[in-house]
Structure 1
């Protein structure tokens, strides 16, 4: 496909307070390469917590099926991310409460709705174009909620790996880490691998307490800077394993990092020797995380402050989780492979208030968007891969006339949104067929409804 055209649109900073007239510039990309300019459909990607160009390059499904439907393709960037920043590079803190009060899912959805209306109003041939929205992960949540909140604008939604139920009252805080662990247990030598991972936390802690231990950990793990406790390395490794389970794809990719096919299996190959101890275990762990952090061999040292691509913003997302996107995580070291970590709403709120000066509203997203009741909006296809730890917060498998939720074996985080690949499991191939079938039905129904009547008056 030809790379889409970069465009900008002036948005209201606050869509719901009519006393505020401030604006910001939202970035979006448009491709008319395959579009039939007479009410042909619009495929609209609801941008998530990062630079929209990351998702342009990793949402191949839209590009694969656009020629079939002769669709316009639009990728809209989420406010505050990428180049759509109302306040430049300002960071959320207790001193910037006002500036970041507009960073919400509700405001982002309003941006998308206004942008769709703008696109349609600037080309008369798009006036009656059906709009099908696509999104993965948080973007998948937004696509489902876009259909729910603006059914007069959105014809249907493809919501991939959308954890619309991952909130304190609808999941247990242990479920995510248990799902990560189950992914690791499922590969060859998985039980030995998980046993070694469980043992490494104690080994790291004991090493750190010895004279020169922190320096030794820094040397073993090739850290870029000195550490003052083993906790930093511990969190670094935990994040890697979570990310690795998310992108456990059957082919090499560079979505979050340059990694090989089936990275969890590759990782466990380095931890397949039973009962590793001491320095041998630490060295094996360094090799294991290298599958995610340094598979190309080009990284000279590890920055323990981040494990994700620079195109994503964990800083802004962490702020959003302190508002309405409250997602609980805990570990017990028994049903999962991670060190014990408790989670309570009270401790979470204290942490959020200390960092940002705000208190979370853990039930608001479920109240505002309906949780599992969101399916009542109709015309939504939910998909979740069983290798993806986020599937525990997704809509359970179901099938109705207007809403389908598909569980895909052998699939990780929104694998079905990526370009078709010969290595895709049959579950993903079949899921895409279902998505295409429903998209065709939605478009046909909308076009039929909006088509001018040819009946003669009597």
Structure 2
């Protein structure tokens, strides 16, 4: 099958690994850019603009047919196009135009180029501005695709998104109901507030995933690993040993480096859990099927005589996430790829998380004051209201809106911030047993279980009802 082709520069996107890769035969996505305001609420004679990138395909589109819009999240838009096959799987039966819109400050959609992340420029990264970008692009598509329609009260445009992008898709329908007729929002942490959710639930779900796929011994070894790494890193010799055996790109030299390393380990456990799909994937990094199990097998089937032996096996297991392809010369533990999204977590998307005795992480209470101080130190920003997202977008009050599907997998740690039951007759919650992070938005596979298949059927039924299709 031919690889996905982006038309503007003849740029061939890399293809996914293995038999489960997403490579629609003869399929093409054209790359386009559209100029949008830097600040949608700036009213001056010299409004600064920049280009938002979007991908578009007319392969299945019929005149007057719907538009399926995928709302980009925290990454380049090509990665979402390669890992969101559901929208392609159903487009033909609906005669739909397919569009993937990139989120500002990610991928190529950088307002100030390489300077975009400087403190004076990153302040334009807000969810209201991002939503306005999407509305702006969608309005352009309406004019282009439905220009011959004299009068139309509601345009047949459906939003899709997963995780943070799923939250944006839901908020798009809630804040701008004239822009999209409905939203399929998967793995949405809709309740961003300490007042409506327990801070320990996130790491609890991660731990249960490791208990299930790695057995109890894996969780016990992970818990042991924290103390081993901390004690070993108290000396220069120990830090040198860790740096060498774990193939770290930067050698550990300070206590601050060790703190970063511990955070890096915790992040890997979370990402393994999020990406614990039942087939090989390449969503931001190359991973095997059931990577949690692969990690735990490496860790618990090894034999070691001392703590240094255990550290060596930990390093090999961690590379299931960091270097499964074996192509990297070293492992980067500095937090660089998540810098932009962490800025958003500091300013708007404040998600209370804490670890307790019952999970496999180092105990860490939720302390908003300390959290705010850390954000101030790193980004020079302060958040005046940690519940702003709850107040700004509705939180549990989504019952006042309509035409949204909120789906989540039971193995997805973000599910604990999501809706558990139907909110109203037109706000539906769908729980996917054994489901990891937005599994229902991936392309169909012969190994999918009935829960995943039923979730996708539910999505199709919802879309048909919104479009008045029998």
Moved more, 368-377 or 269-278: 269-278
- In 2, are the aligned partners of 1:145 and 1:374 still within 8 Å (CA)? no
Partner of 2:358: 335
Q: Give matches, 1:125-274, under 5 Å.
A: 127=149, 128=152, 129-188=155-214, 190-228=215-253, 229=255, 230-272=258-300
Q: 2: CA distance between counterparts of 1:330 and 1:359?
A: 21
Given candidates 439, 445, 450, the residue that maps to 1:415 is 439
CA distance in 1, matches of 2:111, 2:301: 52
2:90 is the counterpart of 1:100: no
Instruction: After TM superposition, give the deviation of residue 91 of structure 1 in Å.
Output: 4.9
Which 10-residue stretch deviates more, 52-61 or 10-19? 10-19
TM-score by length of 2: 0.88
Provide the rounded CA distance (Å) in 2 between the counterparts of 1:131 and 1:375.
21
**CA shift at 1:273, angstroms?**
5.1
1:122 aligns with 144
What residue in structure 2 maps to residue 350 of structure 1?
373
Who is 1:432 aligned against?
A: 456
Structure 1 moving runs of 4+ over 6 Å: none
Alpha-carbon displacement from aligned partner over 1:412-455 (angstroms, at most 9, x marks no partner): 0001100001121211110000000010110127xx9xxxxxxx
**Structure 1 position 402 matched with structure 2 position 426:** yes
Corresponding position of 1:109: 131
In 2, Cα distance between the equivalents of 1:356 and 1:224? 24
Offset of 1:400 from its aligned partner? Answer: 4.2
Q: Distance in 2 between matches of 1:10 and 1:92?
A: 20
Residue in structure 1 matching 2:321, options 269, 292, 312:
292
After superposition, what is the alpha-carbon deviation per residue over 1:370-414, rounded to whole angstroms, capped at 9, x for unaligned?
002124311111110111111111111326431211111111000
Give the superposition deviation at 1:225: 2.1
| Between 73-82 and 224-233, the greater mean CA deviation after superposition | 224-233
Q: Distance in 1 between matches of 2:250 and 2:109?
A: 32
- Give, in whole Å, the separation in 2 of the partners of 1:76 and 1:89: 20
Give the corresponding residue for 1:381: 405
C-alpha separation in 2, matches of 1:210 and 1:25: 50
Q: How far apart, in 2, do the equivalents of 1:233 and 1:126 lie?
A: 58
CA–CA separation in structure 2 for the residues paired with 1:165 and 1:73: 29
Aligned residue pairs: how many? 435
1:284: how far off?
Answer: 2.1
Kept in 1, the 8 Å contact 2:192–2:389? The answer is no
Contact 1:196 1:274 in 2 (8 A): no
Q: Is the 1:192–1:274 Cα contact (8 Å) retained in structure 2?
A: no
Q: TM-score, normalised by structure 1?
A: 0.90
Gaps of 5+ in 2: 1-23
In structure 1, the gaps of 5 or more residues are 308-312, 449-458
Over 3 Å counting, the alpha-carbon distance change for 1:372 and 1:275 in structure 2 is farther
Higher relative contact order (CA 8 A, sep 6+): 1
The answer to whether the 8 Å contact 1:192/1:271 transfers is no
Confirm whether residue 90 of structure 1 aligns to residue 115 of structure 2: yes
Q: Pick from 403, 414, 423: which aligns with 1:390?
A: 414
Distance 2:139 2:98 in 1: 15
Residue deviations 1:226-245 (CA, integer Å, cap 9, x gap): 11243232222111110000
CA RMSD of aligned residues (A): 2.0
- Find the aligned partners of 2:217 and 2:293 in 1 and give their Cα distance: 12
Counterparts of 2:325 and 2:112, CA distance in 1? 36
- Are the aligned partners of 2:399 and 2:423 in contact in 1 as well (CA < 8 Å)? no
- What secondary structure, in the 3-state scheme, does the structure 1 residue paired with 2:287 have? coil
Task: Give a deviation string over 1:104-154, Cα, whole Å, max 9, x none.
Answer: 111111111121111111234575540000000000000000000111121
